[in-house]
A and B are shown apart, each in its own frame.
Chain A
Amino acid sequence: MRHTLSILVENRFGELARIVGLFSARGYNIESLTVAETLDSQVSRVTLVTSGDDHTVEQMVKQLDKQVRVLSVTDLTALDHIELELVLIHVRVGGDERRQVLNLVDMFPARVIDFSENALTIEATGDRLKVKALLDQLTPFGIHEVVRAGTLAIPRLPAAKVRDDLVQSFATI
């Protein structure tokens, strides 16, 4: 099963290597990885998407938590949370097709951020399925290059639970 782990770690030389090394040494899989400073510049947040059965993921969490400089490990999969991916796409497109691609972009949480005579650069942000759907739709036009950031994830605000309909509409962003 897919799990999204949110790890707070002291922002120090070598700490990311320690986390990544732990995964490779123990044969755990990393699907995506995102690292950046938090508001506290001494602390970084690592968002790591992995997969494994419950026992394996329990071990991962314990092994991560055991790391001297790791402050906390949260398995967001167990919580109500929001996940987003960011993707940048070069599409080779000119003439009539250009209009069709722009229409597609309008239908997705995406926008054009650069263009030339025969190509567009599209930025899209959304959950995995949305991003995948957009890529599927664009493929026939000719995707030249795709750059994806790792998954970002954040727990939902407790208040959002009050209005399920609102949650649903936000979730489709």
Chain B
Amino acid sequence: MTALAATELKSTATVKEFSDPIPQQMYGARILLESLVLEGVDTIFGYPGGAVLHIYDELLGMHDRLRHVLARHEQGAVHMAEGYAKATARVGVVLVTSGPGATNAVTGIANAFMDSTPLVVITGQVPRKMIGTDAFQEVDTVGITRPCTKYNYLVREVDELADIIHEAFHLASTGRPGPVLVDIPKDVTAELAEFSHSRAVRLRGYRHQTEASEAQIEEAVHRIRNARRPILYVGGGVIHANASKELLELAEQLNLPVTPTLMGLGCFPSGHRLSLGMLGMHGTYWANVAISEADLIVAVGVRFDDRVTGALEKFAPQAEVIHVDIDPSSVSKNVRAHLPVVGDAKSVLRQMLKRLDSMTRDGALPHGRASAPSARLAPWWEQIGEWKKFAPLSYQNSDQVIKPQSLCQELHRLTNGDAIIATDVGQHQMWLAQYYGFNGPRQSITSGGLGAMGFGFPAALGAQLAYPDRQVIAFVGDGGFQMTAQELATAVQYRTNTKIIVMNNNYLGMVRQWQEIFYDKNYSAVDMESTPDFVKLAEAYGATGLRATQPAELSSVLEQGLRTPGVVVMDIVVSAEESVYPMIPPGAGLKEMVLG
């Protein structure tokens, strides 16, 4: 024990004085960055510009505590932060300038808002005196982002900056998570103030219920235990709440079939005997028929999105609905809940498990719980098995041309279903959802609600920067990749190992599919007549480029690509006019599936 430590023990009062942050004068820019460090931030994704010059000036001196990742476009920066947040369960942080910096960030912010990803986005603003004068690079950032943020701030005084940053992190990460934007006028960052952070949150109207009432839990458990055809319909809320363990336990105890949404992929192990695979527009036949025939839907952390329910009037006509969600406005929004349960997925699932436990102890349930529900649910499982046999996921493989489905299966084989994979929106996204089979939560990172092309690659890059040693893959289409391909420079600059698989069909595939099915093959503006050579593109950025055009090459190219250190772009040329099946046509009910 050193002398200093001995002193600490003797007089804690004195030590406390020393450990308190010493109030000192700092520039607003420094206050901002110190506040970020206090929130535990280690990485900022950003792009500099005039209104954030003071911040970048201070940032350089703090590089040992705050890593700045220079994107090549602000949209890319926000997607990276979202990939980082989704993979790590932390708040992603973005720093961009005013005007075009802010407007370029909007797609990313809207994406995070739709998928409830916690972000804090800091935008520079013109100096306070110039606000409203149509100054150079001035836009009404809080006005533009008001409908696509959970909350946003314009900082009006340097004295409120530290508290606003703390509040922003609190708002972004609690309740239903989401992006929070803080707009900071340039002159605020240049003002001196005392860095005093009260860490107090003054939000009188902000509250959320995490636990359900005992009566609700009792009722829910009662209904689940008495249902003949129950189904667990689970989504992103389970992942946000880190409730996968509880979900698995509940499903196993009660022998319940589980169907995840696109946002819920991985929250329940895909290969598990209780998993029915994804439901919805391109979900499995048996998951969609099962939910349609269910007498009880236990919906956890989902929002009955139109891509899941199909025509609402035809959705699960015989089912009672228990809807667990932290956001009361999600409950009974699209489908009326018979038992609304507002609460955090983890807490509510835990409460249900506790209730089951106490029932076992009281003798209400026989010991060896698994045996109890299995007899009651045997006919239901038998029926589901028949549906599965009737229409399994299938495609016609070929030895002439690489089928996209086989690409996803091969990727699963080579990565054991353990990779973190980020996608855009469209055919490749659906095939990956159907055929990859994610093992765990926070592996699937996708643009669900907004459906933004160009999301996958930067999101993968953000996840890779969080986990340099994990296998992280951007699985994108040739269309989407071209929307944010410039981030190859970022991926190379930070010496990442990000792998990019371009599922290249030379078409805007999903749009082509709809034109094929609903517009009589009237292909309008979907043929990418000029596509760059992705191998050369990779090389131009200093990355490795590989290509597979024949089924025989697929495995070796993927294997080599995944093994090669550094950034690798794999251009996988797949059959051009393949469509994603099964498919529920828009406006149809879940049982009106087109099997292909």
Contact = CB atoms under 8 A, between A and B. Distances in A.
A71 B328 contact: no
Interface stretch (B146-154, B291-299, B464-472, B571-579): B146-154
Given A14-B142, A14-B154, A18-B146, A62 B206 contact: no
Interface residues of B, number: 18
Interface in B201-219: 203-206
Interface in A1-29: 9-10, 13-14, 17-18, 21-22, 25
26 contacts: A9-B205, A10-B204, A13-B156, A14-B142, A14-B146, A17-B143, A17-B146, A18-B146, A22-B147, A25-B147, A58-B332, A59-B329, A59-B333, A62-B333, A63-B329, A65-B328, A66-B328, A66-B329, A68-B150, A68-B206, A69-B203, A69-B204, A69-B206, A71-B204, A71-B205, A72-B205
Interface residues of A, number: 22
A70 interface: yes
A22 B151 CA distance: 13
Contact of A21 (B147, B203, B327, B332): B147
Given A66-B327, A66-B328, A68-B151, A10 B205 contact: yes
Interface of A: 9-10, 13-14, 17-18, 21-22, 25, 55, 58-59, 62-63, 65-72
A20 to B, nearest CB: 10
A54 to B, nearest CB: 11
> 3 closest A-B pairs (Cβ-Cβ)?
A62-B329, A71-B205, A68-B151
A59 B151 CA distance: 19
Contacts of B154: 13-14
Nearest to B151: A68
Given A21-B146, A68-B203, A68-B206, 17 more contacts: A9-B205, A10-B204, A14-B142, A14-B146, A14-B154, A17-B143, A59-B329, A59-B333, A62-B329, A63-B329, A65-B329, A66-B329, A68-B151, A69-B203, A69-B204, A69-B206, A71-B205
A67 B150 CA distance: 8
A63 B143 CA distance: 18
B485 to A, nearest CB: 32
B31 interface: no
Interface of B: 142-143, 146-147, 150-151, 154, 156, 171, 203-206, 327-329, 332-333
Contacts of B332: 55, 58
A7 to B, nearest CB: 10
Contacts of B205: 9-10, 67-72
A65 B330 CA distance: 12
Contacts of B333: 59, 62
A68 B175 CA distance: 11
Nearest to B176: A66
Contacts of B150: 68
A18 B327 CA distance: 18
